[in-house]
Amino acid sequence: MEQLETLIEESHALHGHLCPGQVLGVRLAALGCNLVGIQEPRDSKELLVWVEIDRCATDAIQSVTGCKLGKRTLKFVDYGKVAATFLNTTTSEAFRVVARDDSRQLAHSYAPDAPDKKSAQLHAYKVMPDDMLFNVYRVEVSVPDTDLPGRPLTRVTCAMCDEGVNDGREVERDGEKLCRACADGTYYRSR
């Protein structure tokens, strides 16, 4: 895998600014890939990653791994946690890596001359040992065929809105197949 500084620069370019979350995400992604035995993640067809937050670290994880929502290799689960699960689909090896909350307070001891908290974190997150930054858990992940990369396996048309629904995301109610928006309501409101 590329050197840390190069990975941080690439993540910065993708994300648009450099922040402690970017450095943390780069380190988290590098550790996760190493744990599941994938040394060149951007070239891998065996890596799936679940991210648990929609913040800066997620862009860094995407940058390092090359995983993308559109390629179905990056999955988003909104837990609001700086955490990600890495799965090697060939070996079934999976690890969940979680940023430790206390690393924020420890950052100043790794950068005592830093003028502010952000600067301390930017420096410290580059040099702190993995076990001071992260908790790591060996996990099992079952991935249905309808969640794997590749072409959709199924497609139905919603009985209410007439829009297509891929890969078993439909809901059956009273014998009709509905999209989740029609079945459960939407995040948007028609005007």
104: which 2 tokens? 């924020």
Q: Reduced to 3 states, what is the DSSP secondary structure of residue 84?
A: strand
For the whole model, what pTM was predicted? 0.92
What pLDDT does residue 2 have? 64
Write down the CATH number for the domain with range 151-184.
3.30.60
Report how far residue 66's alpha carbon sits from residue 59's, in angstroms, rounded to the nearest whole number.
Answer: 10
Pinpoint the alpha helices (H) of the chain: 4-15, 20-35, 56-65, 103-110, 117-127, 130-133, 180-184
Question: Any residues with CB less than 8 A from the CB of 10 and at least 6 apart, and which?
Answer: 2, 63, 64
- Neighbouring-strand partners of residue 87: 48, 94
- pLDDT tens for 56-91 read 999 999 999 999 999 999 999 999 999 999 999 999
Alpha-carbon distance of 117 to 149, in angstroms, equals 40
* In the chain, ranges of CATH 3.30.1330.130 domains: 4-145
Residue 1 has pLDDT above 70, yes or no: no
In this structure, are residues 53 and 82 in contact, taking their beta carbons and an 8 Å threshold?
Answer: yes
Residue ranges, comma separated, of all CATH 3.30.60 domains in the chain are: 151-184
For residue 23, the model assigns a pLDDT of 96
What is the chain's alpha carbon radius of gyration, rounded to the nearest angstrom? 19
pLDDT tens readout for residues 149-185: 999 999 999 999 999 999 999 999 999 999 999 999 9
HSE of 58 in the Cβ direction (CA atoms, 13 Å)? 17
Burial of 183 (0-12, 13-18, 19+ CB in 10 A): middle
What's the topology of domain 4-145?
Answer: 60s Ribosomal Protein L30; Chain: A; (3.30.1330)
Calpha distance 156→179 (Å, rounded): 9
Task: Supply the pLDDT for residue 190.
Answer: 85
Rounded distance between C-alpha atoms, residue 85 and residue 87, angstroms? 7
